[in-house]
Structure 1
Amino acid sequence: MMSSSASWTEAAALTRRLRTDFVPDQLLQATDKSILIAGTCAGEPVVAKVLTTGEAFWREKFGREAAAYLAFARCTPRVRVPRLIAADTEAGVLLLERLPGHRLSPDRYPPTALEHQDVCAVVDALGSLACWTPASGAFAQAWDYRHRLDRYLGYGLLQTLTTRP
């Protein structure tokens, strides 16, 4: 586990302990919770996610994320998801296949509207994922999503998702 002030080189070194063939080449994002690094393993594009906080809440969420990728490997969903290459939840490291495409936004809550075709693609992917039946017990519900969606609809945040041209 790294401190929140850790550098991306420290995160890359921690990832190399998990996979010695990891070659970092670009810092994608650094927050007070994690660092994302693009690189390669065995010549294939990957992304390393390294947890930089020891807070119990974020360690639990990180563990759930790793469990989700394991569940995807056991029962493939109807949408393309990154393949788990390696994980060490104790050390706080995930190594995932890097999928082609572009990033929708660097922010969780984008300050500007997303492109219409991107929003449609996300909604279509979510619809496909909603029809997928994972293996029994693969996911424990961490949030009350119905309540969250209703709340966001009340704020007017999802209006563009409910109407298509």
Structure 2
Amino acid sequence: MQVTPSVPDRPLAGDDVFEHLPGFQLGERLRATDKAVTVAGRWRGEEVVAKQLTSTDRHWVKRFAHEVTAYQVFAASPPPWRTPRLHYAAQRLLVIQRLPGAPPHTDRYPPRLPEATVTGMIDALAAFAAWQPPAGPLRKPATDLPARIRRYTAAGDLPVDDQHTLVAAVTAAPAQFGHGDPLPSNALSTGNDPLIFIDFEFVGFYPGGADLALLGLWLGRHDPAAEQRCAQTAAAAGHLHSYRAMRVLWVAREQRLYHGLFDTAGDHRQWLGVQATAAIAAFRETARA
């Protein structure tokens, strides 16, 4: 069932609430955010996960529709990693197959993770980057990065002197399919099978190394060696310059997200400030090379 990419703000309809889905047996709540609630359950004799979009913000409505589209593309043209099967979708509700495994961690900036877990996440992102989706919505840029750079620069989040070189770096870099949100909480690990990423709201084409730059930022808060591995992996693939450009953008985004949020002591905000300075210096180094 195709989901309309954008709909007017409105209350949740009956087919947008998992409690109203005929035959759905509600299980444990898996996650709740300010935009969605995710629960486990059973439907038509199978273990499933149901995700209900609670936000009426047009951005999240569009992202939700994009995720459903991704499941449909994966079903028609399976990628080389395991993906949940889509069972049902309405404009703000989807039901997917529940795959085995658990997230390596649920914190945005997790403590140091086992080396095997870090390797599994890097390998999973390499599989994304190597896949060529069919012509259609997943072959498009996931976001307008030049526009984001101009917006961040105008807001004072990026140095004016770096605007043009950042735009050049992200537009000239070879584009790769990417996950776009490789949080440890968006991964599943069984300890036996290869680690996989789920939650596909942001999949699409990105400059090479973009996923690694984001993963390295999140892991590097408590494990700088993990960030170094991500950078080395990007460099080995020939994407160090775009990796560093994307790290500048990701750090700026995190600073915007954390401004006045989650961090009353200010320690994390200070760490992000240090990372921003270092990221810009590293980017300028490769830009001059």
TM-score, normalisation: structure 1: 0.78
Paired residues of 2:24 and 2:42 also in contact (CA < 8 A): yes
Deviation at 1:150, TM superposition (A): 8.3
- Using CA pairs under 8 Å that are at least 6 residues apart, name the structure with larger relative contact order, 1 or 2: 1
Q: Quick one: structure 1 residues 2 and 37, their matched pair in 2 at CA, closer, same or farther if it must change by over 3 Å? A: farther
Counterpart Cα distance in 2 of 1:148 and 1:131: 13
**Which residue in 1 is equivalent to 2:23?**
21
Query: Deviations along 1:45-91, whole A, 9 cap, x unmatched?
Result: 111111011001111111111111111011000001111111112xx
Q: Which runs of 5+ in 1 are unaligned?
A: 4-10
The secondary structure found in structure 2 opposite 1:126 is helix
Deviation at 1:117, TM superposition (A): 1.3
Counterpart Cα distance in 2 of 1:29 and 1:98: 14
TM-score, normalisation: structure 2: 0.47
Q: Quick one: structure 1 residues 153 and 101, their matched pair in 2 at CA, closer, same or farther if it must change by over 3 Å? A: closer
Q: Which runs of 5+ in 2 are unaligned?
A: 1-9, 146-205, 221-226, 234-289
**Structure with bigger gyration radius:** 2
Q: Quick one: structure 1 residues 13 and 84, their matched pair in 2 at CA, closer, same or farther if it must change by over 3 Å? A: closer
Q: Quick one: structure 1 residues 125 and 2, their matched pair in 2 at CA, closer, same or farther if it must change by over 3 Å? A: farther
Aligned residues: 153
Letter of the aligned partner of 1:71 in structure 2?
Answer: V
More deviation in 46-55 or 136-145? 136-145
**Which residue in 2 is equivalent to 1:65?**
67
Structure number with higher strand proportion = 1
Counterpart Cα distance in 2 of 1:57 and 1:78: 29
**Which residue in 2 is equivalent to 1:8?**
none
Pairs within 5 Å for 1:1-165:
14-17=17-20, 19-89=21-91, 92-107=92-107, 109-139=108-138, 140-143=140-143, 144=145, 145-146=206-207, 148=210, 152=214, 157=220, 158-162=227-231
Deviation at 1:151, TM superposition (A): 6.2
Structure number with higher helix proportion = 2
**Which residue in 2 is equivalent to 1:7?**
none
The secondary structure found in structure 1 opposite 2:47 is strand
Deviation at 1:141, TM superposition (A): 2.1
Letter of the aligned partner of 1:106 in structure 2?
Answer: T
Paired residues of 1:2 and 1:53 also in contact (CA < 8 A): no
